[in-house]
Structure 1
Amino acid sequence: MRLEDVAAVHEIERLSFQTPWPAHAFEQELKGNRLARYLVARAGERVVGFAGIWSMVDDAHVTTFGVHPDWRRQGIGRHLLLNLAELSLVIGARRMTLEVRASNHAAQALYRTFDFDIVGHRPGYYTDDGEDALIMTTPELDGPAMRGRIATERARLAG
């Protein structure tokens, strides 16, 4: 993600979430958070999705993830998640973690395709409506199961 992508990313964020990050939060992340990495997915020149992680000790924590509503269910989320997994390996993360709304079954299904499992929950995590968050994590990224999953997804999405 580049600074010039922030307006498009913020629009996707606004269309996707009840409490979107403000645009300046993305700008601050890009300019000043050395632990943060952000990716965008493009269709031509148009930004159609984005994702971000923070490198936290030996975890890659997914901080944000969104696909424009007009571009959902076309494999963009899978591509983003694959690229996050590969980036997480490059930065030395042992596993990926995230929180997801308990009611967001579509996102949970996507995360399960990359072997994320529910390992806990955070009651009242979301401040807008008090909904619980599920905590999901992957197995060891450098282990044979996840290496195999990443290779399988790379081949599937390439072909």
Structure 2
Amino acid sequence: MDAGKPPPRIRRLAAADLPRVVAIEEASFAAPWSAQTFRNLLRRRDACLFSAVDEGERVVGYAAVWFAGPQGELGDLAVDPVERRRGIGARLVEAVLAEARSRGARQIFLEVREGNRGAQGLYRSCGFEVVGRHPAYYAGPTEDALTMRRLLVR
């Protein structure tokens, strides 16, 4: 963490966060999710969304996870480009893992671009490992996805 800034607080994502979430999403991904996608996830009982907020309550990152039986899918995670490399992504992953444990999940999966070494490093540091590959999963540019999994200890 940057010694000059307090660590962000992780809380449940609120509908009021969506303008900042969508701005971060658009700055982070070639095929960003829409505000409607996030609104739909907020309504789902099997989903949980988190915001990382700074001392001024400004959203600096977010994560979306959903569950089916004993497993979860970390579907989206992004941090404001100017706030990256401060441990915010790891704190969001920790919140996702805590939520998964509270719901009785035994494992969490995610997909990540093969070329996104930064995200892969984050996920590896949080205990995820590569367990598969989806050829040409992503568009703009076309790229394989690596499937990563984290087993959860009871």
TM-score, scaled to structure 1: 0.86
Structure 2 residue identity aligned to 1:72: R
Give the structure 1 partner of residue 3 of structure 2.
none
d(CA) in 2 for partners of 1:111, 1:17:
17
Deviates more, 1:124-133 or 1:65-74: 124-133
Give the structure 2 partner of residue 46 of structure 1.
58
d(CA) in 2 for partners of 1:48, 1:25:
19
Give the structure 1 partner of residue 89 of structure 2.
77
d(CA) in 2 for partners of 1:28, 1:86:
22
**Structure with the largest fraction of helix:** 1
Structure 2 residue identity aligned to 1:16: S
TM-score, scaled to structure 2: 0.88
Instruction: Tell me by how many angstroms 1:116 deviates.
Output: 0.6
SS in 2 for 1:6: helix
Task: Identify the structure with bigger relative contact order (alpha carbons < 8 Å, sequence gap 6+).
Answer: 2
Give the structure 2 partner of residue 125 of structure 1.
137
Figure out how many residues of one structure are paired with residues of the other and give that number: 141
| Structure 2 alignment gaps of length 5 or more | 1-12
**Structure with the largest fraction of strand:** 2
SS in 2 for 1:138: strand
User: Percent identity among equivalent residues?
Assistant: 38
Structure 2 residue identity aligned to 1:35: D
Structure 1 residue identity aligned to 2:98: E
Matched, 1:98 2:99: no
